[in-house]
Amino acid sequence: MSRAVFIDTSAWWATSEPREPRHRDAVRAYQRLLEQRAQIVTTNLVLAEMHALMARRRDPAAATEFLDLVHSDPTHDVRYVDRELEAAAADRWLRVYRDQRFSLTDACSFEVMRREGIRSALALDRHFTAAGFDLLL
């Protein structure tokens, strides 16, 4: 595989929802990453957000199917947030960037990216740029 890219809930939702304004851009960017055999990294917190969004706006079966697809695809790597990662994310991102409206999920995503040297995110969330990362959308 080539480079690693982090994927956020905002991008996944945009790829799955044709009514989203950036749907086509998100689908193209995601397909390009798959074609390049990029390592697509996310966290279990992002998966939880996406599952909840799909379960509410679509149906629980689609949400569960999404989880199954992610976990069965070898190009997708899920990082699990434990207490140590959560504490580091809170210390490095939530406490330092008090002027930003970062969620705990955002902070954990940023911490995973920092630790693994991932510079780019497939996301629509401008918090990634505020934290110093590059957006692919």
Residue 1 has pLDDT above 70, yes or no: no
Domains and CATH numbers, the chain: 4-135 (3.40.50.1010)
- Residues 6 or more apart whose CB falls under 8 angstroms from that of 23 comprise 14, 15, 17
pLDDT for 35 equals 94
- pLDDT tens-place string over residues 17-72: 999 999 999 999 999 999 999 999 999 999 999 999 999 999 999 999 999 999 99
Cα torsion 114, 120, 124, 130: sign: positive
pLDDT for 120 equals 97
- pLDDT tens-place string over residues 58-114: 999 999 999 999 999 999 999 999 999 999 999 999 999 999 999 999 999 999 999
Q: Helices (H) and strands (E) in the chain — how many of each?
A: 7, 5
Q: Taking the model in full, what pTM does it have?
A: 0.94
